[in-house]
């Protein structure tokens, strides 16, 4: 599993890890049933506190992406989020779009950025 954290990122470390694992699942790099490294191993690899990784894994479990089996490990349980309302799914997109608009990006630039990111996610998943 290849994850990185960025000290300059405004998101909390646990959220960076949650988002990173979700991206790996979305791309197909982590498939259903894949075993994730232990909390201790990920914490050591990333140089972060054990509790940070534990919080991230719990969040992913609550959202239905991971199954945590104490003593046997953590596995990817699904590529799909738990059933959520459309508005809840769109909120992060709305926030990102707002930031782009406030940064002065045109609708055309925003649409191009969205397409580029979507292509990037899809292509990485198809390369598997």
pTM across the whole model? 0.70
- Domain map (residue ranges) of the chain: 13-76, 86-126
Does residue 21 sit in helix, strand or coil? helix
Q: Which residues pair with 36 in a beta bridge?
A: 74
pLDDT tens-digit series, residues 45-103: 999 999 999 999 999 999 889 998 887 889 999 766 555 677 777 888 999 999 999 99
CATH number of 13-76: 1.10.10.10
Residue from 7, 22, 4 nearest 92 by CA: 22
């Amino acid at each position: 599993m290849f994850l990185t954290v960025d000290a300059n990122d405004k998101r909390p470390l646990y959220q960076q890890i949650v988002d990173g694992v979700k991206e790996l699942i979305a791309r197909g790099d982590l498939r259903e049933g894949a075993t994730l490294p232990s909390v201790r191993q990920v914490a050591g690899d990333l140089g972060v506190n054990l509790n940070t990784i534990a919080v991230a894994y719990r969040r992913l479990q609550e959202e239905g992406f991971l199954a945590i089996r104490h003593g046997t490990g953590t596995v990817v349980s699904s590529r799909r989020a738990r059933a959520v309302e459309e508005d809840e799914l769109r909120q992060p997109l709305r926030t990102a779009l707002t930031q782009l608009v406030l940064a002065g990006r045109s609708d055309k630039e925003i649409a191009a950025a969205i397409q580029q990111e979507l292509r990037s996610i899809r292509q990485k998943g198809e390369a598997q």
